[in-house]
DNA sequence: CTTTGTCCATAAATGCTTTCATGTTTCATG
DNA sequence: CATGAAACATGAAAGCATTTATGGACAAAG
């Protein structure tokens, strides 16, 4: 069933059918009716390839993501995908893993497939070495590239980020002000946002004259292996590092800290405070429930898609947008002590 | 840069370039070299639409999923996507939500886009009412349809499922044999696999002469709202339902049961046993760690993709494959008491 | 001198969009 | 009320970038 069949049955030319299909205004109501009837009757659907050939677009956006099973990334993908759909676009998803080479491969593949835009979900797409980010610049020469929680200043690439620096800075200040001085910063990623978070912690501790390199601890190992993280913390303690607070760059790490504190028989939050990041489902699963920073993922995604659709529409759009996060207080941090005068 | 440009620069016809591109045998080594050189030199990549028009395929599989942010579904998508990539296919992801209508819409959209096959991730795609599943049968008339953890007997649809019935049956028997009689079955989905699980529990309790309708409890509400589930369990208790064990159809529900038991000051597992399902990350996050049933998701996915690739290759493939799960014992269930004689 | 087989070019086919040209209305104007 | 200009409706045909069927040229083999 092609456009020819329809045109024949409707007694019009294929051009008219095409016009009806594409909602062109220049077609009389009568003809439109007739054509639509036939289309309905024969369940005709235009061939996407042919249409793509003609229009040179398929209304499809490529989504790249290192690991769609990561709690946070999965949520991001979900929001992005739904909002994209609402905007009339489809999405091709590529899970790339964390290695640069396979990111490049996937990206090229998507461009070859003629996606209209690219969304890179997660800050792990930006690398420390400037030259490693060339692949994004090159891609942006072909299609607009959107970065979620990452930042790169280049033509045709747009960034939507949450203000991780400030969130961490404020959360750290607050934890110190509840009376905790020996806070370990626990993280597992040197990504763009990872670095911003750490910087926030650093700035705050520095301001409070409490900064200590020893207390900045990196976890290498599986992102899901809570027991391994817990062990790691126990080892730090065994090695003589004293700490009564953990600020974690991710809720999983914070969860491990909770397990550690419980194993040590600390009372939470009286003896030991913990702050998580991302305000994921884990925060509520935790016992006691985790105070965590919410970076308003859905809002970020909404904005990202709005921007992308704007760009695709040929409009001028902001190159970088920053949203501030929010500390969601639950039961692993203390209230600020009222000042006794 | 089109195939014409390349053919001109290489001094051959476009047909020859096409043959080189598609690895046809009828082309001399010398010509192939020359063409490949030019292609390399000009960074030529064939136009996906034109190619699609000619071949009527784009090597793309459509993945449908109700909610990609669901812990379990996200993992499934991840595995499916990666294995598909390894097989040389891309994937278009559509998050459909749980309503039938939007599933149908998304499905048609994917078919219009000329995907080569469809993968429905999750048992929620199969409905109770036979007629509600017609949409799958219709889709299967166009392209092969793969079901993950769901089952439908129709031409061109293939199922890969885990043996939830047996897993639940055995787990229930075992819990009873550790001495617990008043076990609540806690579930939140009437999906295909949801029903199989429940049936397993039923069969076991029946066999042990312990079946009680009151103890089969459905949770309606957000799938992520642990506090709500916990409240629900407390309410059951308040209403006079006595129970010292929970078998949950999902780890989130089990997690809520853990929270409930702790709130009631039960010792786990001495006074109260809990069994989860899916062996997700939550099982290890939990305190104490959750005993949970692992249904070998990665193996299921691997098999599913193998089957799909086989079908696309024109080979005969098994219509339905069942894998058995495994109980991963952690700390929320008791060991079977040694028989004292 | 014919047959066979290899290698390659020509041309048709794929199904749509869109430009251009043409025919048809509408409507203000004199 | 007739006329011409502008707006509208439609069709023919030219792309779009490939794949593939057909057949021709040429070389080697019988």
CATH number for position A234: 3.40.50.2300
Q: Do B320 and B243 sit in the same domain of this protein?
A: no
List Cα–Cα distances, B156 to A159, B160, B193, B318, in angstroms. Answer: 44, 13, 21, 11
Q: How confident is the model at residue B251 (pLDDT cuts 50, 70, 90)?
A: very high
Task: State residue B337's pLDDT score.
Answer: 61
pLDDT at B32 over 80: yes
Task: State residue A338's pLDDT score.
Answer: 58
Which of helix, strand or coil describes residue A27?
Answer: coil
In this prediction, residues A311-329 reach a mean pLDDT of 95
Q: How confident is the model at residue A287 (pLDDT cuts 50, 70, 90)?
A: confident
Tokens standing for residue A199? 């910087």
Q: Do A288 and A145 sit in the same domain of this protein?
A: no
Q: Is residue B331 one of the residues assigned to a domain?
A: no
Task: State residue A188's pLDDT score.
Answer: 96
Lowest mean pLDDT among A265-279, B40-54, B167-181, B229-243: B40-54
Interface contact B58-A113, CB threshold 8 A: yes
DSSP letter, residue A213: G
For residue A41, give how far its alpha carbon lies from the nearest alpha carbon of chain B (Å): 17
Set of chain B residues whose Cβ sits within 8 Å of the Cβ of A95: 78, 81-82, 85
In this prediction, residues B191-219 reach a mean pLDDT of 96
Task: State residue B336's pLDDT score.
Answer: 74
Task: State residue B92's pLDDT score.
Answer: 87
pLDDT at B84 over 90: yes
| Closest to A304 measured CA to CA, from A283, A322, A280 | A322
List Cα–Cα distances, B293 to A94, A324, B303, in angstroms. Answer: 29, 40, 19
In this prediction, residues A131-143 reach a mean pLDDT of 96
Task: State residue A32's pLDDT score.
Answer: 92
Give the number of domains in chain A.
Answer: 3
Directed axis angle between helix B14-21 and helix B3-10, to 10°? 110
Q: How confident is the model at residue A285 (pLDDT cuts 50, 70, 90)?
A: confident
Strand C close to A22 by CB, under 7 A: yes
Q: Is residue B330 one of the residues assigned to a domain?
A: no
Q: Do A170 and A264 sit in the same domain of this protein?
A: yes
Q: Do B68 and B79 sit in the same domain of this protein?
A: yes
Dist CA A293 CA B308 (whole Å) = 42
Q: Do A211 and A137 sit in the same domain of this protein?
A: no
Tokens standing for residue A173? 């200040």
Nearest CB to A284; choose among B82, B226, B287: B226
Q: Does residue A72 have a cis bond before it (omega within 30 degrees)?
A: no
Per the listing, tokens 């016992």 go with A287
pLDDT at B267 over 80: yes
Dist CA B92 CA B63 (whole Å) = 6
pLDDT at B54 over 80: yes
Task: State residue A6's pLDDT score.
Answer: 93
pTM for the whole thing? 0.90
Question: H or E stretch including A286?
Answer: none
Closest-CA residue of chain B to A96: B82
Model confidence over A173-200: pLDDT tens digits?
Answer: 999 999 999 999 999 999 999 999 999 9
Q: Do B287 and B305 sit in the same domain of this protein?
A: no
Percent of chain A with pLDDT over 90: 86
Q: Is residue A184 one of the residues assigned to a domain?
A: yes
CATH number at residue B17: 1.10.260.40
Tell me the backbone φ, ψ of residue B80, rounded to 5 degrees: -60, -45
Per the listing, tokens 């499809």 go with A60
Dist CA A20 CA A4 (whole Å) = 14
Q: Which nucleotide is nearest to B52 (CA to C1')?
A: D18
Question: H or E stretch including A137?
Answer: helix A134-140
Interface contact A67-B50, CB threshold 8 A: no
Q: Do A168 and A105 sit in the same domain of this protein?
A: no
Query: Helices in chain B by DSSP H: which ranges?
Result: 3-10, 14-21, 29-42, 48-55, 71-86, 100-112, 134-140, 164-177, 192-207, 226-238, 251-263, 281-285, 297-312
Tokens standing for residue B339? 């028989």
Q: Is residue B319 one of the residues assigned to a domain?
A: yes
Tell me the backbone φ, ψ of residue A216, rounded to 5 degrees: -100, 110
Q: How confident is the model at residue A339 (pLDDT cuts 50, 70, 90)?
A: low
Q: Is residue A19 one of the residues assigned to a domain?
A: yes
The gap between A13 CA and C28 C1' (Å) is 33
Mutation for testing the A interface, residue in B281, B301, B305, B328 having most A CBs under 10 Å: B281
Q: Do A158 and A169 sit in the same domain of this protein?
A: no
Number of C-beta neighbours around residue B124 at 10 A: 25
Q: Which nucleotide is nearest to B54 (CA to C1')?
A: D19
Strands (E), chain A: 60-65, 90-95, 117-121, 145-148, 157-162, 183-187, 216-218, 245-248, 273-277, 291-294, 320-323, 326-328
Dist CA B341 CA B335 (whole Å) = 18
Task: State residue A337's pLDDT score.
Answer: 62
Q: Do A72 and A152 sit in the same domain of this protein?
A: yes
Task: State residue B156's pLDDT score.
Answer: 97
Question: For the residues of B45-93, what is the DSSP string, one character each?
Answer: ---HHHHHHHHS--SEEEEEES-TTSHHHHHHHHHHHHHHHHTT-EEEE
Q: What average pLDDT does chain A have? A: 94
Q: Do B288 and B177 sit in the same domain of this protein?
A: yes
Question: H or E stretch including A24?
Answer: none
Task: State residue B24's pLDDT score.
Answer: 78
Strand C close to A92 by CB, under 7 A: no
List Cα–Cα distances, B68 to A115, B19, B171, in angstroms. Answer: 21, 40, 28
In this prediction, residues B90-94 reach a mean pLDDT of 88
Q: Do B64 and B32 sit in the same domain of this protein?
A: no
Tell me the backbone φ, ψ of residue A187, rounded to 5 degrees: -145, 165
The gap between A80 CA and C3 C1' (Å) is 65
Model confidence over A208-226: pLDDT tens digits?
Answer: 999 999 999 999 999 989 9
Directed axis angle between helix A71-86 and helix B71-86, to 10°? 80
Strand D close to B48 by CB, under 7 A: no
Which of helix, strand or coil describes residue B180?
Answer: coil
Dist CA B306 CA A149 (whole Å) = 35
Q: Is residue B172 one of the residues assigned to a domain?
A: yes
Dist CA A187 CA A41 (whole Å) = 60
Q: Is residue B79 one of the residues assigned to a domain?
A: yes
Dist CA A101 CA B247 (whole Å) = 45
Task: State residue A88's pLDDT score.
Answer: 87
Q: Is residue B117 one of the residues assigned to a domain?
A: yes
The gap between A218 CA and C4 C1' (Å) is 72
Domain hosting residue B156, numbered range: 60-162+297-324
Strand C close to B112 by CB, under 7 A: no
Q: Do B125 and B199 sit in the same domain of this protein?
A: no
Which of helix, strand or coil describes residue B145?
Answer: strand
């Amino acid at each position: 069933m092609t456009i020819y069949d329809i045109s024949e049955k409707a007694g019009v030319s294929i051009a008219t059918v095409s016009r009806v299909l594409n909602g062109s205004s220049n077609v009389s109501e009568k003809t439109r009716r007739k054509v639509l009837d036939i289309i309905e009757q024969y369940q005709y659907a235009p061939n996407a390839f042919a249409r793509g050939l003609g229009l040179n677009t398929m209304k499809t956006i490529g989504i790249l993501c290192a690991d769609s099973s990561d709690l946070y990334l999965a949520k991001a993908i979900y929001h992005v995908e739904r909002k994209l759909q609402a905007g009339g676009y489809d999405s091709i998803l590529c899970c790339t893993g964390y290695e640069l080479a396979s990111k490049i491969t996937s990206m090229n593949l998507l461009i070859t497939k003629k996606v209209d835009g690219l969304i890179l979900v997660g800050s792990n797409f930006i690398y420390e070495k400037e030259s490693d980010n060339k692949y994004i610049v090159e891609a942006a020469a072909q299609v607009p590239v959107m970065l979620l929680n990452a930042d790169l200043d280049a033509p045709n690439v747009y960034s939507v980020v949450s203000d991780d620096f400030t969130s961490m800075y404020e959360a750290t200040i607050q934890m110190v002000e509840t009376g905790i001085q020996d806070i370990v910063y626990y993280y597992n990623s040197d990504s763009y946002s990872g670095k911003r978070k750490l910087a926030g912690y650093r700035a705050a501790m520095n301001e409070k004259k409490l900064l200590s390199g020893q207390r900045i601890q990196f976890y290498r190992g599986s992102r899901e292996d809570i027991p391994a993280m817990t062990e790691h913390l126990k080892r730090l303690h065994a090695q003589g590092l004293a700490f009564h607070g953990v600020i974690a760059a991710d809720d999983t790490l914070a969860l491990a800290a909770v397990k550690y504190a419980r194993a040590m028989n600390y009372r939470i939050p009286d003896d030991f405070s913990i702050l998580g990041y991302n305000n994921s489902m884990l925060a509520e699963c935790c016992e006691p429930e985790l105070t965590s920073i919410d970076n308003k993922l859905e809002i970020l995604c909404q904005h990202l898609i709005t921007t992308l659709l704007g760009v695709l529409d040929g409009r001028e759009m902001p190159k970088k947008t920053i949203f501030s996060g929010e500390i969601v207080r639950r039961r692993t941090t203390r209230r600020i002590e009222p000042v006794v005068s």
